[in-house]
Structure 1
Amino acid sequence: MPKKTLLNAATYRTYPRVPASVSLASGMALAVSAALPLTALAEEVQLDALVVEDSGIVADSNPYAEPGAPYKAKKLSDSKHTRDIADTPQTMTVLTKDVIDESGKNELKDLLAAQPGITLGTGEGGNSFGDRYIIRGYEARSDVFTDGLREPGLITRDTFALEQVEISKGPSSTFAGRGTTGGAVNTVTKKASLDDDFNKLEGGMGTDDYHRFTFDANRVVNDSLAIRFNGLYSESDIPDRDPAAEERKGALLSAVFQATDDLKLAADYYFFRSDDRTDPGVAFDRDTQSFNRYDYVGQDGLDFQESGADIFTLAVDYQLTDAARLENKTRLGNTTNDYIITAYSAGRGDIRSFTGWQDNDYVGNQTNLIIDTELGGKRHTLVTGVEYAKEDVIAGNYAIDQTNTFTIDPYNADNNLWEGSTSKSDKMSDLTLKTWSIYLMDTITLNDDWELFGGVRYDHFDYKLWTAERERRGTIVPEARYAFSDGFWNGHLGVVFSPWENGNLYASWGTSSNINGGEADAGSSCGYGGLCSDSDGNYAHADPEQSTNWELGTKWNLMDEQLLLTAAIFRTTKDDVIEEGGDSYSTGGSLNTGKNRVEGVELGLSGNITNKLSGQFGIAVMNSETLESYDESLVGLPKANFAEKSASLQLKYQLTSDFAFGGNLTYASEMFGGQPDTGARLNIRTPGYSVVDLFALWQINPDMSLRANMQNVADKEYYTAIYRGGSIVYLGDARSANLTLSYRF
């Protein structure tokens, strides 16, 4: 790492080390000489050295990547992270625009599932179908952020409008608020730019009726105003699972207005609709420990999954003084998720339908004051802020009126035998969750070798939940209303020791808190993260679950800062765990009786390995254990939906200036089924797997390029997630291939 220099905030800048253009510099020097009068040439002239830096950045490249090393992210988009990734005392996995595009993965869940330390959860009867992530063994489906603000709802997420994906590992409550036990995901959207006009049109075709079209255009209206539009239309069958299929439509319209030298306004509107026939996978027989591989059993006229998003964000950035900057973000959003999904139950020998609908309205506001100045002879970068968030979530299900009877054959593709009608229920639950937060962070440069980070955050919430009278497993559950409020403190401490020019050692400590009922999609289904009550019906007596993380690591900027190597050992302990009370569909639970731990080692690499070979690599080796539980038989068991070993490797080799090729390797060890935060069910397991993808890139001319992707080259049959009870497992995608033509004009 470069030695830190104590300068006023107005002059403290970090410039990338980019090779100078010698020929351009020489040409300019000659031009200057030629312009001098002949009499002046007779005199000795002392000129300052002229350094010309060529960033190599094209208009629509990722502004957060290291110039000249598109696989390496240099910094995070969130201004609360005031140092480069290499100087941040925390494990960060960042997927740049080039990594995302060249992988050929178009859904956020597929990108994240390939990353070390992350697994997928399933949609089930007690929580919605949608993108569900588990980071380092801990539920993170509500810990997804976009441009630094929490994203509302559990929906399908496409990558068409993404510039970068930032995965922070370990508790991040100081930055993100409630939750974030194992980590958090922040997606960074493509934004309007005043730098240049550009248009980029992409069209893709492939196997399984794959069609995908995107359009990205930026217009500089004048010196102060720019507008950018990203559009998407895509459709395809699920490989080897037809008629399971996906259809997506999306748009992101953004604008930036530089009102004055010090004041910048930005706004964007995000629109997204998906219309899918979701494949819930195949059955697992717990008695024989076997997987029953059969055809997709979804029913015409019955099965669907539709999700949508309409989200508006306004950002104000004001440079108050040379040393102080004020920023404010406001977000208004609505997301919806409706589905009827049919699956076959091997144990029961029949089909079962999962149904649900959810409507989430979100209001959020975040204000940050960032001060970079010298205090007491030391450089301080202070971030203080306040945040408000309000989530209104209503949910229900669908009634299915089947007018015929039939026996389904899951091994026969012609299973569309269903007849009847469906109707959408009135709302069955209504949640309002309000949160007020205040935080203060400071990064102190003690000297050239030592930097200290500290932060504290207080969150106060009001929770109100109404549930309708319903029948649950033959028992009538009466209408109920719940309301409580609470508050909690969390903090971070970190120290970075960097006596070397290119490397450092760091240590960090951080905490997080999860509230009772914090998973907004689960209502009062205790075992799925919804509100839990004890045997006496008490719910407000549950303290927030508390997590603590210790991490010791090192980061090294090599190859003239074109390659970042990271390594860390960590331990996360979650205490006061709220456990389900046996029946996960009920509201009953055991309050603050559990404790578990995840510890391990994580290694990472990203950037230019040689001048022709680029790569991003990560590996996580972890161990989990239930330390305490209301049920003594669970103590000592590992966590569910947890892969002890996982790895990801993406390589690209630039064979010529116009042609490159590469591939991806994803590995995950076996996983057990069961309830999160309770000991796993060892008789339910999915085997480990390795999947290889390939890609090639051809720059046909300066304006046109062609990319070929082949996913799961060996057509490996593998399972990405397992239903908590073990009856259903999710299938990974079979082999597929596609071509994408890009035209810039």
Structure 2
Amino acid sequence: MSRYIKSRKHAVAPLAALAASLTLPMAHAAESTAPAAEATTSTASASAAPHLPQVKIEGAAQSAYKAEKSASSKLTQPLLETPKTISVIKKEVLREQGAVSLVEALQNTPGITMQLGENGNTSAGDTFQMRGFSASTSTFVDGIRDLGAVTRDVFNLEQIEVVKGPAGADTGRAASAGYINLITKLPQLDDAIDGSITVGDASRKRASVDVNQKVFDHGAVRLNAVWQDYGVPGRDEVKKKTYGVAPSIAFGLNTPTRFFLYSQHLRQNNRPDGGIPTIGWPGYTAATSTTVTPAQAAAMQAAPKVDTKNFYGSVHDYEDVKADMVTAKLEMDIGQQMTVRNVSRYGRTYMDRMVTGINAITAVNPADLSTWTIARSRQRVNQTNEILANQTSVNATVSTGSLKHDLSTGIELMYESQDNRAYTAAAAPAANLYNPNPNVDLGGSTRNVAGDTSGSTTTTAIYALDTISVTDALKLTAGLRTEHYKVKYSSATTGALSTGKWITSWNLAALYKLSENGTVYAAAANSLTPPGGANSTLSASGQNSTAADAQETKNYEIGTKWDLLNKRLNLTAALYRSENDGQVSVDAVTNVATQSGKTRVQGIELAAVGQITNFWQITAGFQTMDAKALELRSVNNAGVQTTTDGVRWTPKWSATLWNSYQWGDFTIGGGVRHTADQKRIVTVNAAPSTGLGTLPSFTVVDVMGAYRVNKNVTLQLNVTNLLDKQYMSSLNNGGSRLVLGAPRAATLMANIGF
């Protein structure tokens, strides 16, 4: 492939001056420079990244969607030869889709569902399940755990890597579902300026910039920044305001010794959404009770939906987030076969949130809807998460006789803490069900020191991951991680509690290359979630008690991967089965609590990523989930047992598709997302309750069109939910309230690059 290249060098002296004054710089791992280089030579992504050089096609073009290798140093083989289910979502895909948040980005991989929270409360930040298990604490940034109730922005991401299935040997405790690794942008030896300006309905406005500047022979600086003032289509009072900056500097690029210093600083000022009541939606049930008469229940059962724009909180509700992290990374190549790395990070996330939840409906006069009310509850969360981590790792290629070893080994030291300052919110009066007033002042909150909680987890870990090439075609993988964790927790209710022990995680796999472009594999792995291991919270009894054993999740997977069409298109298929053992359950006869409960999720996953032709690109996925709870029982104070046989929020199947086609200076694209029904009620012979028992299936169609005005400017129009499908994106655990997916909405983006 030969290229007609226009110079992108500019006088950016102010940026060089900024580099000299940086004290808290930013950016991403050098391992991700290969995918970035591929994107630079991609014709198909020219409209998505207008500053790219013009390309003359003399051979097969490389895909801007398809990654060849993970950016993680722990995954040493090309993705084609890695015996795991891994989805890589690159920044070019996110730009075409107009995605701005991690939640939007994860819509590109099936099997991930979003959660809303318990009755009266709303989950904060990115809260989701993956393959039927919670993955909210399994988000990593460049291989280091990322904590905090923050809605993550993608402005500083090179790509997102989703690794599915238990992965304790990779990341340590609490990786029951796998993990999501966010790969940040790092300086490169190139001069480039890239930015975008976005406007849309619901008063949405956003601007971002990415500036990279070579400042000397082997050094560069990079600055990413974002500003956003977003409304939410269909929700007049909900607001999302974000601004962030991510500076970085690198020394020794393209030399054996490289040093990166980078940071990210994000601020959010949002008005959170407590959702709307589920009354009137298909499947809604109104049950009689001590407070609901048969006449009221019958009227509620036949009542219409509320206006989907209704806001049941107050304009004085707020969510303020301050998230900061600083990272230093040193890499040294020792000869041609060994690289030593040391990464240190400090991160702190502070969230202060006042949100209004909605609860029971009262049909005051069953014949007059204007008299109906809905109860409200106020919740203030004031939480601080901190993390201090150091990782030292070695990647080496060595031979023992006829065997070749690609080895990744290291030591990880980590301290994590979570402190919650308690507040008691003023009692909120009930709202009119069909005509709530968002301008009402629902009062503030008072400090409740007795309700404060604090927890911390200290981890010391050592790991070794080895891929053994027995022959050119046969590779065996073995991984072992042993770590000592210590959890400390304190509250007025429990007093001071602590627990800790050594735990060991493993993985084993065999992969065979049927040809240069096709592999088959079989893999097994586990992950352990000890008491308090996911959130540094302990209790006197139950799953998080100091006497409880760790839950263990085991995963078994067989699969195949193929690179087709001159290695431009990757196809994968996997059959998996995950089982989580050690959940607290009571004996069917004695009611004695033991850790005999299990959850089992199994299914298939298919994916296609890459190019079908030089100008037609695709990323698609399909997944099934057969989820069951086994021997899982609970008992109430009256001695009545409840048996659970299902798993909440696990659709039987889900699928996602996005593709784009470039025709000269025009690019058109579109996609479809489908998620099957998700059960809320998963207990045997459950008594009727008010609300919805199921989150209904939904299908959403999105489209985009882009026009390259010249080599520096591209205009892009995105329309989400093209068919204006009314659907709920999440439902609370009580079934009484929901959050709607956005109605049809449009954004216009100008991408500018030099």
Give the TM-score taking structure 2 as reference length. 0.83
Which of these residues, 424, 435, 441, is aligned with residue 465 of structure 2?
Answer: 441
In 2, the alpha carbon distance for the partners of 1:218 and 1:85 equals 28
Provide Cα deviations, 1:92-123, integer angstroms capped at 9, x if missing partner. 11111111111112110122245211001124
Q: Provide the residue aligned with 1:695 in structure 2.
A: 704
**Pair 595,317 (structure 1): closer, same or farther in 2 beyond 3 Å:** same
- Over 3 Å counting, the alpha-carbon distance change for 1:434 and 1:22 in structure 2 is closer
- Residue 277 of structure 2 is matched in structure 1 by 283
1:189 and 2:198 equivalent? no
What is the letter of the counterpart of residue 661 of structure 2? Y
Aligned residue in 1 for 2:248: 254
Counterpart residue number, 2:610: 607
SS at match of 2:693: strand
Equivalent position of 1:373 in the other structure: 398
- Hey, what does 1:33 align to over in structure 2? none
TM-score, length-scaled by structure 1: 0.84
**In the alignment, which residue of structure 2 is the partner of 1:386?**
411
Alignment partner for residue 149 of structure 1, among 144, 151, 159?
144
**Contact 1:641–1:721 (CA<8 Å) still a contact in 2?**
no
Look up the SS of the partner of 1:733 in the other structure. Answer: coil
Q: Deviations over 1:184-212 (max 9, x none)?
A: 10011111112x11111211111000100
Deviation at 1:88, TM superposition (A): 0.5
Opposite residue 737 of structure 2, the aligned amino acid is: I
Over 3 Å counting, the alpha-carbon distance change for 1:271 and 1:425 in structure 2 is farther
Residues 675 and 506 (structure 1 numbering): CA distance in 2 closer, same or farther, change over 3 Å? same
Determine if contact 1:55/1:67 at 8 Å carries over to the other structure: no
Structure 2 match to 1:171: 166
Q: Secondary structure at the match of 2:709?
A: strand
- The amino acid across from 1:568 in the alignment is A
**Contact 2:514-2:520 at 8 Å conserved across structures:** no
Instruction: Determine which of 726, 747, 751 is the counterpart of 1:738.
Output: 747
- Worse overlay, 637-646 or 204-213: 637-646
Q: 1:4-53, CA deviations, whole angstroms, 9 ceiling, x for partnerless residues?
A: xxxxxxxxxxxxxxxx44999xxxxxxxxxxxxxxxxxxxxxxxxxxxx9
- Determine whether 1:704 maps to 2:713: yes
Match of 1:546 in 2: 552
Contact residue 117 and residue 733 of structure 2 kept, 8 A: no
For residues 576 and 688 of structure 2, the distance between their equivalents in structure 1, rounded to whole angstroms, comes to: 25
Q: Is the 8 A contact 2:235 2:311 kept in 1?
A: no
Amino acid at match of 2:615: K
Q: CA RMSD in A?
A: 3.0
1:533 to 522, 541, 550: 541
Cα deviation, residue 266, structure 1: 0.5
- 288-297 vs 545-554, which moves further: 288-297
Q: 1:204 to 1:259 in 2, by over 3 A?
A: closer
Alignment match of 1:593 (pick from 593, 596, 609): 596
Shift in CA distance, 259/555, structure 1 to aligned 2, threshold 3 Å: closer
- 1:326 aligned onto 2:340: yes
Aligned AA (2:397): D
- Aligned counterparts of 2:128 and 2:404: Cα–Cα separation in 1: 38
Q: 1:320 to 1:83 in 2, by over 3 A?
A: same
| The one of 670, 685, 691 aligned to 1:663 | 670
> Is contact 1:304–1:339 with CA below 8 Å preserved after alignment?
yes
* 1:418 counterpart letter in structure 2: D
Aligned to 2:354: 340
User: Take 1:142 and 1:234, find their aligned partners in 2: how far apart are those partners?
Assistant: 26
Aligned residues with identical type, % of pairs: 29
CA contact (8 A) 1:516 1:532 kept: no
The DSSP-based 3-state class of the residue aligned with 1:73 is coil
Does the C-alpha gap of structure 1 residues 681 and 738 become closer, same or farther in structure 2, counting only changes over 3 Å? farther
Deviation of the 1:434 alpha carbon: 0.6
| 1:548 alignment partner AA | K
Query: d(CA) in 1 for partners of 2:669 and 2:62?
Result: 18
The answer to whether the 8 A contact 1:284-1:291 is kept is no
1:491 aligned partner = 506
- Separation (CA, whole Å) in 2 of partners of 1:641 and 1:21: 50
Q: Deviations over 1:461-520 (max 9, x none)?
A: 00100012xxxxxxxxx3511111112111111111112221111110000001112332
Q: Distance in 2 between matches of 1:55 and 1:659?
A: 18
Greater relative CO (CA pairs within 8 A, separation 6+): 2
Residue 291 (structure 2) aligns with: none
Q: Deviations over 1:126-157 (max 9, x none)?
A: 88511111000000100000011111222110
- The question of whether the paired residues in 2 share the 8 Å contact of 1:409 and 1:415 is answered with no
Structure 1 residue 723: deviation in Å? 1.3
Separation (CA, whole Å) in 2 of partners of 1:686 and 1:334: 35
Amino acid at match of 1:730: V
- The structural deviation recorded for 1:554 is 0.4
SS state at 1:447 partner: coil
Matches for 1:32-43 after TM superposition, within 5 Å: none
Residue 480 (1) aligns with residue 495 (2): yes
Aligned residues: 666
Deviations 1:331-374 (A, max 9, x none): 10100122111133244631122321110111011111111122
Q: Which residue of 1 aligns with 2:653?
A: 645
Q: Check the 8 A contact 1:542/1:591 in 2, yes or no.
A: no
Alpha-carbon shift at residue 627 of structure 1 (Å): 1.2
Query: In the alignment, is residue 420 of structure 1 matched against residue 434 of structure 2?
Result: no
Contact 1:533/1:589 (8 A) holds in 2:
no
1:713 to 711, 714, 722: 722
Q: Is the 8 A contact 1:113 1:120 kept in 2?
A: no
Query: Which of 461, 465, 487 pairs up with 2:489?
Result: 465
Q: What is the identity, as a one-letter code, of the residue corresponding to 1:91?
A: T
Contact 1:276 1:305 (8 Å CA) reproduced: yes
> What amino acid is aligned across from residue 41 of structure 2 in structure 1?
G
**Residue 639 of structure 1 aligns to a residue in which SS?**
coil
Contact 2:166 2:175 in 1 (8 A): yes
Q: 1:645 to 1:136 in 2, by over 3 A?
A: same
Deviation at 1:725, TM superposition (A): 1.8
SS class of match (1:111): helix
Q: Contact between 1:299 and 1:418, CA under 8 Å: does it hold in 2?
A: no
Q: What residue number does 1:45 align with?
A: none
Q: Which residue of 2 aligns with 1:520?
A: 535
Note if 1:563 corresponds to 2:569. Answer: yes
1:200–1:175 distance in 2 versus 1, CA, 3 Å: same
> 1:525-553 CA deviation, whole Å, 9 max, x = no partner?
xxxxxx46149xx9222110001100000
Structure 2: tracts of 5 or more residues without a match: 6-37, 54-59, 287-300, 363-373, 636-640
Q: Deviations over 1:232-290 (max 9, x none)?
A: 00112111111111101111111111089321001111000111111122223563489
Q: Cα 1:605–1:687, aligned 2, differ >3 Å: closer, same or farther?
A: same
Q: Which amino acid letter does the alignment assign opposite residue 563 of structure 1?
A: L
Match of 2:30 in 1: none
The CA distance in 2 between the partners of 1:634 and 1:115, in whole Å, is 34
Moved more, 637-646 or 287-296: 287-296
Verify the 8 A CA contact 1:408 1:415 in the aligned structure 2.
no
From 420, 424, 430, the equivalent of 2:454 is 430
Distance 1:367 1:237 in 2: 43
Look up the match of 1:472: none
Q: Separation in 1 of the partners of 2:117 and 2:132?
A: 17
Change beyond 3 A, Cα 1:282–1:260: closer
Q: Tell me, in whole angstroms, the C-alpha distance in 2 between the residues paired with 1:460 and 1:699.
A: 55
User: Corresponding residue for 2:638?
Assistant: none
Counterpart-to-counterpart distance in 2, 1:76 and 1:201? 26
| Contact residue 329 and residue 344 of structure 2 kept, 8 A | yes
The offset of 1:397, in angstroms, is 3.6
2:292 corresponding residue in structure 1: none
Task: Provide closer, same or farther for how the CA distance between residues 121 and 688 of structure 1 changes in structure 2, counting only shifts above 3 A.
Answer: same
SS of structure 2 residue aligned to 1:78: coil
